[in-house]
Structure 1
Amino acid sequence: MIRIAVHPDHHTVMGNLHQSFSDHWMEVGNRMGIRVEPVNAYEHDFFKTIKQYDAFLWRYAGRDEKEWASRLLPSVSQGLGIPVFPSTETIWHSGDKISGQMLLKTAGVPTPIDWWFFQYSDARKFCEEAEFPVVFKLRSGAGKSENVTLIRDKATCKKFVDIMFTCGMESIWEVSGSKIKTKTRSLVNSFKETMGRSRSRQIQKGYAYFQEFLPGNSGDVRLQIIGSKVFAFRRQNRTNDFRASGSGNIDYEPEEIGADLATFGWRASRAIGMPFCSLDVIFDGGEPKVIEINYSYVAEAVRRCPGYWDFSCDGEWVAENIGPEAYTLEEFIRLNFPRVWDQLVTAHNHCNGS
């Protein structure tokens, strides 16, 4: 039987909610008869230790952990040939909205029109020619859409561009009409404060990223793909806002999603080579378009789904949910160790209704 190493992860999400994938993985692994054991990814002799295992899983979170994980995980998978979660295909663009959209577009997944600029003159020209409103995004940072805002006029667009190509900003925290309040500062003060603050906070500058605004959407749909399984729920927009993330107003009825949209999400995940991902979807004249792709998500939101569409069984609806952490481990084994998986599921097959 295989041995799986996991780096212990314990995080607080949504204010005060505790989340740990590793705790669930060790519990589920024991029930399945698989040895799932904690291994510290920061230990000096990590690579010597990891050679004793068949796989390594680390549900990292935050910029500081990602910086190390983005180096460690590819070293394990490419250097040692050991399957890892998340995969290298996920690591390279994780936490970077521009890279994620580039991947979606090149893979042929429908998205809104995007404009990204790395030259000041190009960004200022866009402000002159754009049809407003447009969505402005920072490429990384805070969740709950805090780094996303709607720009309604040329003057505001120019102010954002000027900020991004001078002192930059670490977050967008208030926009009201053409009056912009941002945590801006001189380049000297920015440097001094950056040296003294936690590495998890980052001044972003030297680029501008815009996305087409698609009107008529009262919310979005979060498609959570976990291997062959697609979970989904609708998120209503915040009050007097175009953003849905963080609203807390969620509809879990599968009839409001439908199998066609679940199929869209499953096919998109295969097109980009990410069997584990979140897709945020809105509609353009009835056509689904992915506005953002994510690696991380709040497990509790997915746990509340009444079931999922199972594409190992032609997309049939399965009215059960034992939790995203357990499904992640199971699907990782199914994808990377199919013979082991066949042994584990011989007595349990959703496709034949047992």
Structure 2
Amino acid sequence: MKIAIHHRSGSFSDRWINYCEEKQIAYTIVDAYDTDIVEKVKDCDAFMWHHHHADYRDTLFAKQLLYSLQMAGKKVFPDFNTGWHFDDKVGQKYMFEAIGAPLVPSFVFYTKRESLEWIEHTSFPKVFKLRGGAGAVNVKLVRTKLEAIKLINRAFGRGFPQFDKWNNLKERWTKFKGGKDTFLAVCKGIGRLFINTEFGKMRSPEKGYVYFQDFIPNNGFDIRVVVVGDKAVALQRNIRENDFRASGSGDLVFPNENIDKDFISLAYKLNKKLGAQSTAFDFIKDLDNNIYLVEISYGFPMLNFLDKASGYWDENLSWNEGKFIPQNWMVDNLIR
């Protein structure tokens, strides 16, 4: 088998390439942005691309290219079942409901009238989300009806920018205060108030819908379970200080073999229904010990994330101690 790999420094491709070199797996590096990319991978059996939600070019055509090559009979990563819902929280709502996943109660409306009628009969707080964004970007806690009305008016008015300059600065400042970022990063955040990112300039404002989820009181953390093929890794992410969000906090704990196996079992069960190659599940447990699924992604941070785990779980829910590289599993599974 010969694998075509789109290389982006700092992405999964770094490890895919290293693994292919180590195991003497035939591969070639290609540029997915080339207009003749389909022709260039014709002599390859597989195509791998760790496409990113914050690159406007990737959001324009990565899925379309991957699924086109899949239709042509090539193995791809991520394939359709793994990636069609990537960075699409609204799409995931319908998918979770369809497969019977324990989704946090979620509500989406496509007209201002229906949205305003709904908030007259619902309770607060609610969590407002845009369909895209990772690390809890574009996620807000809505405490009152008035706050919800303001968000609805904006959603069906000028919309929300794809890059939130003020939230970006706030995130950098919070991490700096917690010792997780540098003052230079804060200065860059200030600069972004005046100079937009390429992504922010090229993408249109998000508008034309509203998406809310119930706020689920919990014990101050979420559980992320990453399933790659027949292996699973789990970690606990504590919420940020004076916040309700765990995603993007950087405060990671690895329960390893001491984790509640219900999370692992549920992740395997859902991944089997999805038929996915790689899925990162974000779970929370309410104060009555009910598990809810918040959202999923095919990818996850590469450095200083799963690397800290001391082992993984197999499908029999047996703990396997030892270091590992999950990106290597992706290559192995694609070959198999």
Q: Same fold (TM over 0.5)?
A: yes
CA separation in 2, counterparts of 1:283 and 1:107?
20
Q: TM-score, normalised by structure 1?
A: 0.80
Question: Helix, strand or coil for the counterpart of 1:299?
Answer: coil
The AA in structure 2 aligned to 1:65 is: D
**Aligned counterpart, 1:310:** 314
Pairing 1:65–2:58 present: yes
Q: Following superposition of structure 1 onto structure 2, how do residues 12-31 of structure 1 map, counting pairs within 5 Å?
A: 19-31=10-22
Displacement, 1:25? 1.2
* Structure 1 stretch displaced more, 163-172 or 92-101: 163-172
Percent identity for Structure 1 against Structure 2: 32
CA separation in 2, counterparts of 1:197 and 1:275?
30
Displacement, 1:45? 2.9
Pairing 1:127–2:109 present: no
Match of 2:279 among 277, 282, 286: 277
**Is residue 101–residue 293 contact of structure 1 (8 Å, CA) maintained in 2?**
no
**Is residue 217–residue 283 contact of structure 1 (8 Å, CA) maintained in 2?**
yes
Displacement, 1:255? 4.0
**Aligned counterpart, 2:179:** none
The AA in structure 2 aligned to 1:71 is: Q
Deviations 1:288-326 (A, max 9, x none): 111011123101211111111012xx2321112322221
**Is residue 223–residue 282 contact of structure 2 (8 Å, CA) maintained in 1?**
yes
Q: TM-score, normalised by structure 2?
A: 0.85
**Aligned counterpart, 1:235:** 237
Q: How many aligned positions are there?
A: 302
Deviations 1:261-308 (A, max 9, x none): 111111111112223111110013212111011123101211111111
Displacement, 1:169? 1.0
**Aligned counterpart, 2:261:** 259
- Give structure 1 stretches of 5+ with no counterpart: 11-18, 175-192, 338-354
Q: Following superposition of structure 1 onto structure 2, how do residues 8-87 of structure 1 map, counting pairs within 5 Å?
A: 8-10=7-9, 19-61=10-52, 62=54, 63-78=56-71, 80-87=72-79
Distance 1:151 1:273, change over 3 A: same
**Is residue 104–residue 272 contact of structure 1 (8 Å, CA) maintained in 2?**
no
**Aligned counterpart, 2:132:** 140
**Aligned counterpart, 1:347:** none
The AA in structure 2 aligned to 1:150 is: L
CA separation in 1, counterparts of 2:218 and 2:293?
15
Displacement, 1:194? 11
CA separation in 1, counterparts of 2:291 and 2:248?
21
* Higher Rg of the two aligned structures: 1
Q: Which runs of 4+ in 1 moved over 3 A?
A: 171-174, 193-197
**Aligned counterpart, 1:14:** none
The AA in structure 1 aligned to 2:147 is: T
Distance 1:194 1:50, change over 3 A: closer
* Structure 1 stretch displaced more, 114-123 or 319-328: 319-328
**Is residue 75–residue 334 contact of structure 2 (8 Å, CA) maintained in 1?**
no
Match of 2:213 among 206, 211, 214: 211
The AA in structure 2 aligned to 1:5 is: A
Which structure is higher in RCO with an 8 Å CA cutoff and minimum separation 6? 2
CA separation in 2, counterparts of 1:196 and 1:85?
24
Deviations 1:83-124 (A, max 9, x none): 100001233221111101211121111111100000111100
Displacement, 1:226? 1.0
Distance 1:222 1:195, change over 3 A: closer
- Give structure 2 stretches of 5+ with no counterpart: 168-195
**Aligned counterpart, 1:190:** none
Match of 1:295 among 282, 294, 298: 298
Deviations 1:59-85 (A, max 9, x none): 11134213221211111110x210100
CA separation in 2, counterparts of 1:196 and 1:32?
37
